Amino acid sequence: MHSQNTLHADQSLPADAVLSEVLDGLSQQQKSLPSKYFYDTEGSELFDQICELDEYYPYRTEIAMLPSIAQDVSHMLNEPCNIVEFGAGSLAKIRILLKHVDSISRFTPIDIAGDFLRREADTLQKEFPHVEVYPVEADFTRPVELNTNASLKNIGFFPGSTIGNFTTEAAQAFLTQARETLGNGSLLLIGVDTKKPPAMLHKAYNDQRGITRKFNLNMLAHLNRETGADFDLDKFEHYAFYNPEKGRIEMHLISQTEQTVTVAGNAFEFREGESIHTENSHKYTQQEFKQLASNSGWRSTRHWMGGQQLFSVHLLQAMD
C-alpha cells in the first residue's frame, strides 16, 4: 500500500503556487509552511511508518474500531449508498467499510493526486466488482461536483483525524462545504482525535525511533526540490509539543543556528532558536466536536470511542 494518509502531496500544483505559499509562510513573523508539503513520496512513506509506531495510537485505534462501526452503520441504512471519501486515503480503511456495509453500491474517492487516485481506484474495483468505483480528481477542500445519482444516499468518509490538521476556521469551512457537496439527507463518518494527557500526546509526536523527526525535516528536502530553496536539513531540528490553550499538538522546525535561507532569490534570516511552524494537530472533546459540527450544518447523531477514549469516530447527519 502506498500511503495511509488523506492529504497527499499536491505535486500537481503549479510550481508558482507552491513558491508563493512558501514565500508567504516564511515572510510571516511566526514563520510557517503548509503541512500538505509533508507528503511527497518519501513523506507519504514516512507517514506510513508513523502509523506503525507503538507510540502513534490514532491509526491503529481507528482501524480496530472500524469493523464494528461499519456493522452499526450498516444496520442504520436501508437504501443504496454512495460512499464519498475525502482524500484517497487508506485502502485498509475503506476496505473495512466495503466489506461490512452491503448497501454501498458506489465508492467515490476524491483526491488531488490524480495518478495515485486512479491506481488505488483500479485496485479496489478489481477487489469489489459489485461496487461502482468512481474516482474524482479534485481538491476536496473546495466545493466538488459529484456525479450525482439521486437514488443513492451520500455518505462522506473522512477518517484518520485529518480534520485535526485544519485550523478551527478551516475545519468549519471544510465541514460546511462537505455538507454542500454531499447534499440533503447525507451522512458523514469522521475520525476525530480526542484530548488526553499531554505526556501521551508528546510521545506520539516524538517517537523514539525518530520517524516523526524525519517526517518533519523531509518537508524541507521536498521544498528544496520543488522551489530550488537551499534549506540545510542539518541546521534544523524537530520540535513537537502540546499547546493546552489551543488544544493542539504543534510541530515546528527549529533553526539550530543563525542562518540565511534563500528561496527563489529571496533571502530569509533565521535567528538561532527561531522556528518554522509546520503542523497543527487539534484534539477535540466530544462536546467540542459536536459544537464544531453543529456550527457547520451537521448534527452528531452517534459517536464511538476506541482504545479507552483514545480516539473517536462521529457519525454526522446533515441538518435540513
Our CB check for ligand AVI shows the closer of 85 and 279 to be 279
Our CB check for ligand AVI shows the closer of 108 and 161 to be 161
- Cβ-closest residue to ligand AVI? 281
Residue 44 engages ligand AVI in binding (rule: CB under 6 A): no
**How far apart are the two ends of the chain, measured CA to CA in Å?**
39
Our CB check for ligand AVI shows the closer of 32 and 162 to be 162
Report strand pairing: 31-32 vs 275-282.
Answer: parallel
Total chain residues near ligand AVI (CB under 6 A):
12
Residue 61 engages ligand AVI in binding (rule: CB under 6 A): no
Residue 296 engages ligand AVI in binding (rule: CB under 6 A): no
The answer to whether 238 and 217 have CB atoms below 8 angstroms apart is yes
Residue 87 engages ligand AVI in binding (rule: CB under 6 A): no
The answer to whether 75 and 104 have CB atoms below 8 angstroms apart is no
Residue 164 engages ligand AVI in binding (rule: CB under 6 A): yes
Among 186, 212, 275, 312, binds ligand AVI (CB under 6 A): 212
Residue 160 engages ligand AVI in binding (rule: CB under 6 A): yes
Among 32, 61, 82, 162, binds ligand AVI (CB under 6 A): 162
How many separate helices (H) and strands (E) can be counted in the chain?
Answer: 9, 14
Residue 312 engages ligand AVI in binding (rule: CB under 6 A): no
Category of 45 on φ-ψ map: left (φ > 0), alpha (ψ -120 to 50) or beta: alpha
Residue 218 engages ligand AVI in binding (rule: CB under 6 A): no
Q: Show contacts with ligand AVI in window 228-267 (CB under 6 A).
A: none
Give the Å distances, CA to CA, from 263 to 44, 224, 254: 24, 8, 18
For the bound state, the minimum distance from the C-beta of residue 98 to ligand AVI, rounded and expressed in Å, comes to: 22
Rg (CA), the chain: 20
- Residue 310, SS3? coil
| Residues in contact with 281: Cβ distance below 8 Å, sequence separation at least 6, in sequence order | 161, 164, 165, 193, 205, 248, 249, 250, 251
If you ran DSSP here, which 8-state letter would residue 155 be given?
E
The answer to whether 155 and 84 have CB atoms below 8 angstroms apart is yes
- The interface region with ligand AVI, picked from 73-81, 157-165, 175-183, 301-309 by CB under 6 A, is 157-165
Residue 275 engages ligand AVI in binding (rule: CB under 6 A): no
Which residues of this chain interact with ligand AVI, rule CB under 6 A? 5, 50, 58, 160-162, 164-165, 205, 212, 279, 281
